[in-house]
């Protein structure tokens, strides 16, 4: 596991029959579909999704990074089940762009890269 992570061995188990997104490597659930804000983001490896919250993830060390929308303070997000890097959490957004930046809405939210997660609809033949 990368150094400086806030790590917990306890996993959050989401309610059954609730659509969620899971880690593409180990299948641990990392976000509820209801927490999805936008599918129109760009990650380091391609398309990405913006979520209000993520679960079962470790938050790495804060860093300042130039992204498409400007310079932001972010922390990498890793799956707490397998340590795969899934995206990042916005800590401070847009203060480097302008004081009244339209990027503030991202603060506290998480980017999960589409190529590193999959949607689990929780469908079963018994439903």
pLDDT digits (tens, 9 = 90+) for 107-126: 999 999 999 999 988 765 55
pTM above 0.85, yes or no: no
Per this entry, what is the length of the chain? 127
pLDDT, residue 5, reads 42
| Cβ–Cβ < 8 Å for 109, 89 | yes
pLDDT, residue 114, reads 97
Which residue ranges of the chain lie beneath pLDDT 50? 1-7, 127
C-alpha neighbours within 13 Å on the C-beta side of residue 79 = 21
What domains can be seen in the chain, in order of their start residue?
A: 28-120 (2.170.150.20)
| Cβ–Cβ < 8 Å for 52, 45 | no
pLDDT, residue 123, reads 65
């Amino acid at each position: 596991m990368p150094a400086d992570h806030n790590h917990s061995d306890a996993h959050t188990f989401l309610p059954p029959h609730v659509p969620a997104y899971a880690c593409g490597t180990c299948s641990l659930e990392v976000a509820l579909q209801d927490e999805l804000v936008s599918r129109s983001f760009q990650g380091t490896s391609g398309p990405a999704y913006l979520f209000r919250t993520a679960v079962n993830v470790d938050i790495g060390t804060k860093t300042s990074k130039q992204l498409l929308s400007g310079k932001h303070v972010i922390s990498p997000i890793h799956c707490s089940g397998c340590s795969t890097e899934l995206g990042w959490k916005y800590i401070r957004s847009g203060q480097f762009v302008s004081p009244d930046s339209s990027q503030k809405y991202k603060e506290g939210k998480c980017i999960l890269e589409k190529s590193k997660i999959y949607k689990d609809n929780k469908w079963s033949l018994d439903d």
